[in-house]
A and B are shown apart, each in its own frame.
Chain A
Amino acid sequence: MSLLQPEAGLLFWMVLSFGVVFFVLAKYAFPVILKMVEERKAYIDNSLKLADETNAQLELLKAEGEKIITKAREEQVTILNDALSLKEQIINEARNEAKAEAAKQLEAVRKQIRKEQADAILEVRSQVAVLAVDIAEKVIRMQLNDKEKHMGMINRLIDEGDNKTMMQ
């Protein structure tokens, strides 16, 4: 049977066409397709890995961020506390300074007052002395008529003056 007898013409064309198909596909088609598919596979794998890594990093960053926030909060609290104490300190200082200033002024005023008192006393004293001299003049003028009385008084005054100096 010629069923199992290959025909030369068909053999020739088959060798030719299969050869061409094999040459073209094996050179230009399949290597490119397989390479691209493999590259895509690698690309996808890489992307997945990258995504995982990124996620992990994101988690890390998140944790770090939270850490930073809590730290900031703590710092905020300490800063506030510091500010409060500083405020109080400043107020206290101001108060103390004010007190000191006031005391100084008071002191000055007191000194002034004392000085003025002393001045006033001195003035009063000098006026009193003048007055006393005046009075004494008047008294002396009045009593020059009576010699004895006059003498008596002079003695008394001298005594008094002696007492005073003795006492001193």
Chain B
Amino acid sequence: MTSNGFEIVVRSLLVACLSLLISLPVAAQEDTNKEIDVKEIVFDHIFDSYEWHITEWGDHPVAIPLPVIVKAEESGWHLFLSSKLHNGHVYQGLYIASEGEYKGKIVEKNSQGVEIRPLDISITKNTFSLLLSSFVLIVIMLSVTRFYKSNKHKKAPGGFIGMMEVVILTIYEDVVIKCVGKDYKRYAPYLLTVFFFVLFNNLMGLIPIFPGGANVTGNIAITLVLSICTFIAINVFGTKEYWKEILWPEVPVWMKLPIPMMPVLELVGIFTKPFALTIRLMANIMAGHAAVLGLTSLVFVTVSMGPTINTSMTIGSVLFCVFMNCIELLVAFIQAYVFTMLSAVFIGLSRVESHHKKKTIE
């Protein structure tokens, strides 16, 4: 049954690769006399956007408009579809900046005629994907839960629920219980939520057709919120011993007084842990997206080099694309696992008991 689920994922990945191959040439056709800007293609994807761009049909872009929710400084709240702003249109005093500091973002002009950024909580591509995968995650988890609630005979589940159980138990037993220590029950729901949240968004990002393919976990806002949650879990519930080790560690006194070298280092350490979590997840997922897109772009970049090189590069690009997607599938799991595991380890470190107590127990 697990292999069945895996097969589905692999198939969807293959479909993903193919559809990327189909969609990009169409995009490239439009400017045959222009050089293909791989950097722009890649960064367009990696950054957020107000509409869900699917492809270009001739000169006409095919995109799903998403709702824009903006609170302008003077005119208050605005709610409209992003299609109103297409091609640099100005709508209700708002437009998408084409250059400058806020390039690609909705801006308005204030009374002095200066471009400013209004409060913008639009449902962007990433937001939409985020909400969708959150919704899917909740639905899936609650349906799994329903099986356990209605299962009075304590039968072992099969199929999809069985697969979910295996994954849940893997994280629970190998990560939560082992890394957190004796308070594992308190942190298990948070760590499991983080794992599945990251995993779902990673996997959704690997599906290149409409509801997936957004670079959600490759966006710093997402990973930042996740690691802030871990930061709170680490420091708010830290034991006295944890704070003592930070503020008055057991090192020679001259390292603490008169210049508190060690405490400063430890305090910096508090912030570097979540920072590392933030950057690691974002960079890994973003790099994966960029690599796949870059490899796919290879096909169109080599068009001008003649048919022989183009053909060989195309074959190579497709093979590499398949390979990269397989790796990304692995990375999607590994990064979710690593994020959860490091969170669990940090939480476990913040739950330290006094050394003297430990010695007496031993």
Binding site for B on A (CB under 8 A): 2-15, 17-18, 20-22, 24-34, 36-37, 39-40, 43-44
Contact = CB atoms under 8 A, between A and B. Distances in A.
Chain B contact patch, size range: 35 or more
Interface of B: 46-48, 69, 105, 119-124, 126-127, 130-131, 134, 137-138, 141-142, 144-145, 148-149, 151, 154, 156, 165, 168-169, 172, 188-190, 192-193, 196-197, 219-222, 224-226, 229, 286
B46 A8 contact: no
A159 B120 CA distance: 186
Contacts of B149: 32, 36
Contacts of B119: 8
A10 B126 contact: yes
Contact of B225 (A2, A11, A28): A11
Contacts of A20: 134, 138
Interface of B: prevailing SS: helix
Nearest to A35: B148
Contact of A30 (B156, B193, B219, B226): B193
Q: Which 6 A-B pairs have the closest CB atoms?
A: A26-B189, A6-B221, A36-B148, A10-B221, A29-B141, A17-B134
5 contacts: A7-B48, A7-B221, A11-B224, A13-B131, A25-B141
Contact of B188 (A22, A30, A39): A30
Given A8-B120, A25-B189, A40 B156 contact: yes
A22 B190 contact: yes
Given A5-B220, A11-B224, A33-B165, A26 B193 contact: yes
Nearest to B176: A34
Given A2-B47, A13-B130, 10 more contacts: A6-B220, A9-B69, A14-B130, A14-B221, A18-B197, A25-B138, A29-B144, A33-B165, A37-B168, A39-B154
